Structure 1
């Protein structure tokens, strides 16, 4: 079908939804390919649907960023059908791309997830800075275009230098010659104008718990949906166990237990997909032999860091534990028959190696946070050497089978 709509020549239909039809079109004035989204005639006389459709164009105009579909124009047909003129994405949707890849037996690698997550985080950051919540993230609302992506200064550098080494293979979800675009802001909620209460909405499988019915929705709803999207993308993939913890953290039922910003969410993902650090070499300190007339060299041990630094390092590496730092509650070490505790000395001398043992019931995975700021996963014992006097903490954390976080802290006094 070829038809005219003011300066836009409609060509083939590339999408049909419940409320609108999407056409590839030509802007005859600028001689450019665009997309025209035309509200269905039977809905055009419904004031609520009409306002929501026009509101999508207004929302898009508020958001500035290379990874959000731009709106070029808005108008009305002779039959009183509102239409939006949008940026053309010539490579289809992420849903179509993944369907094609899975037909060949493909499963996602770390680079495939990051190729989606980084531009998605950039898009949502732009949406959230405009005081909007998308509320309908899904694979069909992420589009691909062949235009080369521009560098995004709003995104932080990868959280770990190891990330580059882990992801030097080309991604298949979004290639280096493509740009991912966030589309369909028709469900978008304006935080500046609304009270916070909203009705249910979103796409099944990607709808956060707070959107299942009337309730309060804010930007953390998009963080839940973005995590669900990565869970869908990673189906069948062999990825680090830290990635599973990242998914559980991002899809916590309570918004306060999720990452609180989309950039924090991205940093947590990047670290979860990084290769594990090199294991620490455990050696027994030896006393060097020196001539009798030469003074012994001073011991040079790294200074014990405070617990604050340890918690920060752990939050960047173990995604599932970040939500605990967001709560003001006292740590819980036991619940419903599941418990963790630490046995070991409460006082050691400078230069003395101390061994601490994890006592765990009902869990088979845990994380140590050591005073040096390092962490260890699933080791039954952790050995540290005291290097300076003072008081520090050894921390053990785990999750119950239903996702509740547990934490126990073992104070240690270091004396001369």
Structure 2
């Protein structure tokens, strides 16, 4: 995978801005146009999977045809010796996921504005024949104008008969945002599935949470999506308007037919904006990144705190050198030491007590008499390596304790930051675990002494699909990650000569431009049937995880074989009649040359019961074909 700083076909990669199941998204600069763009690069481990490559290309086509506000623009698709990628619009602004993490739930007017924008964009995609199938807050960006922009059509399905690329790719989408039909593994999901996910997003922006506990295992979450009754949003956010709540609950109906018929119908049921200038999702001056997420009061506090630190450092240096500490009120009186706390009080507006009258020679002298300058004993003592003398016992105003005024020979020690722990489990065990790209062991395992923060966790096992997620680690806490790894899919490449039809598990599959059907299948047995004008060929194929199975059935090829007959007790039976597909071809023992495909072969002899079976003729088949003829009952 390219790294930030690399040049990819004229685009300089600036930073990684997102990672997904299919690839990595970079912020990049088009060097020719000096324009900021986003590049989505297919993951290297998928580059040799023809089905995933086709899906990646279809995503680019899907996005390119969706020329509408609220959907990220695609500029071009590029394929080089280094990578396959497409170039798209770069949206400045956080994702909805980031915004919800900062703010919690949105106010109803903001949530309603967001819901209208998402439904409008989704409705346009559906009208253009495209399903998203992986809508979630991280795939909804908020631009600088506060408008929602949908991106990452990585699981998009083109609603055309020649682009059914994802029907057999196990479960697609993010578990917590799947529709019931996706959880059940149904192949023919439609626009109603996207509307269910819009309902989940709406529920989350209105309440700050999903209608189930997303921290549970994938199985528990999936069961909740399919079977559990969701509490109304007002359970967690009483201010949700009843009309909006009813629309959200209808979107979350378990059965597709019970949901609104389309996005436009859903929009029509939402309350109209009260004013033309309804509050947008984000105001232009709202923070667009975590670094900018301070309020004006927080910035003011930060400034005051910085000033106090600088003043304390200044006071400490002058005290170390035995010099009087200067402040906004001028130098400290001779014989006294001003502390950082004194100056902090002055700068923070605290009142300062006036010095007692005649507390020093300078105060007792007349206005026209200059105070006598006497050497500072503390400076002499300091030069000889001795500590400065203590302040007179009779005058403690403005003086500090020896501990406060003496120089600190050792740097102040701050407590060590609290670290966290993460426990990682997988089903099955034995997956290699990597945190932020660094291998930490095989599951199950526990990793200690992690600095608080968010880590990217990758679980990989040879015969299973790699799974990537994020884990948040807090100080003095243990995060637990339990993942179920799906078997790595097998890839089939099937064709017929002359051209014909390919069916897998009874469902037709459309060939690509090269005439081959390429698809990913779950490991295990599958029924494959190939037909053409010259014949039919069917068999059960058992696929291993990660296997690539290739077969082109050439119905023009001929295979030599032979047919014999025998009695049940073993003796051969010569001169039995042999027919193939109803045509008599000779008598046993009979040599045959037959075209590839299924043939019905029948062997009969007077006085015995005939035997008939369908034989798949193919190169390398067992020969001769032996038929047992039992005596006819008298």
TM range (shorter): 0.5 to 0.7
- Match for residue 246 of structure 1? 247
Cα offset for 1:179? 2.5
Tell me if the contact between 1:198 and 1:217 (Cα under 8 Å) persists in the aligned partners.
no
Task: Describe the shift of the 1:195–1:86 C-alpha distance in structure 2 as closer, same or farther (beyond 3 A).
Answer: closer
- Among 70, 85, 95, the alignment partner of 1:93 is 95
- Match for residue 84 of structure 1? 86
Higher relative contact order (CA 8 A, sep 6+): 1
With structure 2 as the length reference, what TM-score do the two structures score?
0.36
Alpha-carbon distance in 2 for matches of 1:56, 1:124: 15
Task: Describe the shift of the 1:33–1:114 C-alpha distance in structure 2 as closer, same or farther (beyond 3 A).
Answer: same
Runs of 4+ in 1 over 6 A off after TM superposition: 194-197
Task: Describe the shift of the 1:248–1:178 C-alpha distance in structure 2 as closer, same or farther (beyond 3 A).
Answer: closer
Look up the SS of the partner of 2:155 in the other structure.
coil
Give the CA RMSD over aligned residues.
2.2
Higher Cα Rg: structure 1 or 2?
2
Task: Describe the shift of the 1:31–1:128 C-alpha distance in structure 2 as closer, same or farther (beyond 3 A).
Answer: same
1:29 aligns with 2:32: yes
Tell me if the contact between 1:70 and 1:86 (Cα under 8 Å) persists in the aligned partners.
yes
- Match for residue 142 of structure 2? 144
- Match for residue 48 of structure 2? 45
Give a deviation string over 1:357-416, Cα, whole Å, max 9, x none.
xxxxxxxxxxxxxxxxxxxxxxxxxxxxxxxxxxxxxxxxxxxxxxxxxxxxxxxxxxxx
Look up the SS of the partner of 1:270 in the other structure.
coil
With structure 1 as the length reference, what TM-score do the two structures score?
0.54
1:208 aligns with 2:179: yes
Mean alpha-carbon deviation: is it higher for 58-67 or for 195-204? Answer: 195-204
Tell me if the contact between 2:250 and 2:260 (Cα under 8 Å) persists in the aligned partners.
yes
- Among 180, 190, 206, the alignment partner of 2:158 is 190
Alpha-carbon distance in 2 for matches of 1:139, 1:194: 30
- Among 75, 78, 83, the alignment partner of 2:78 is 75
Cα offset for 1:195? 9.7
Alpha-carbon distance in 1 for matches of 2:34, 2:163: 43
Cα offset for 1:118? 1.7
Tell me if the contact between 1:133 and 1:190 (Cα under 8 Å) persists in the aligned partners.
yes
Look up the SS of the partner of 1:108 in the other structure.
coil
Alpha-carbon distance in 2 for matches of 1:195, 1:16: 25
Cα offset for 1:113? 1.2
Give a deviation string over 1:72-111, Cα, whole Å, max 9, x none.
11112432x2111111011121101111112xxxx32221
Look up the SS of the partner of 2:41 in the other structure.
strand
- Match for residue 57 of structure 2? 54
Cα offset for 1:123? 0.9
Alpha-carbon distance in 1 for matches of 2:49, 2:167: 20
Structure 1 alignment gaps of length 5 or more:
147-176, 275-416
Tell me if the contact between 1:250 and 1:259 (Cα under 8 Å) persists in the aligned partners.
yes
Cα offset for 1:131? 1.2
Alpha-carbon distance in 2 for matches of 1:195, 1:44: 19
Look up the SS of the partner of 2:134 in the other structure.
coil
Give a deviation string over 1:202-252, Cα, whole Å, max 9, x none.
222221111111243111111111111101111143212333322221111
Tell me if the contact between 1:60 and 1:71 (Cα under 8 Å) persists in the aligned partners.
yes
Tell me if the contact between 1:88 and 1:145 (Cα under 8 Å) persists in the aligned partners.
no
Task: Describe the shift of the 1:30–1:221 C-alpha distance in structure 2 as closer, same or farther (beyond 3 A).
Answer: same
- Among 139, 149, 152, the alignment partner of 1:181 is 149
- Counting only pairs closer than 5 Å after superposition, residues 230-379 of structure 1 correspond to structure 2 as 230-235=202-207, 236-237=236-237, 238-270=239-271
Alpha-carbon distance in 2 for matches of 1:71, 1:23: 14
Task: Describe the shift of the 1:53–1:258 C-alpha distance in structure 2 as closer, same or farther (beyond 3 A).
Answer: same
Tell me if the contact between 2:92 and 2:143 (Cα under 8 Å) persists in the aligned partners.
yes
Alpha-carbon distance in 2 for matches of 1:31, 1:101: 35
- Among 186, 189, 192, the alignment partner of 1:217 is 189
Task: Describe the shift of the 1:269–1:14 C-alpha distance in structure 2 as closer, same or farther (beyond 3 A).
Answer: same
Tell me if the contact between 2:22 and 2:154 (Cα under 8 Å) persists in the aligned partners.
no
Alpha-carbon distance in 1 for matches of 2:20, 2:132: 18
Q: Give 1 or 2: higher strand fraction.
A: 2
Alpha-carbon distance in 2 for matches of 1:45, 1:215: 24
Cα offset for 1:112? 1.3
Give a deviation string over 1:171-193, Cα, whole Å, max 9, x none.
xxxxxx23311111121112222
Alpha-carbon distance in 2 for matches of 1:125, 1:247: 16
Give a deviation string over 1:41-80, Cα, whole Å, max 9, x none.
222111111111111101111212011111111112432x
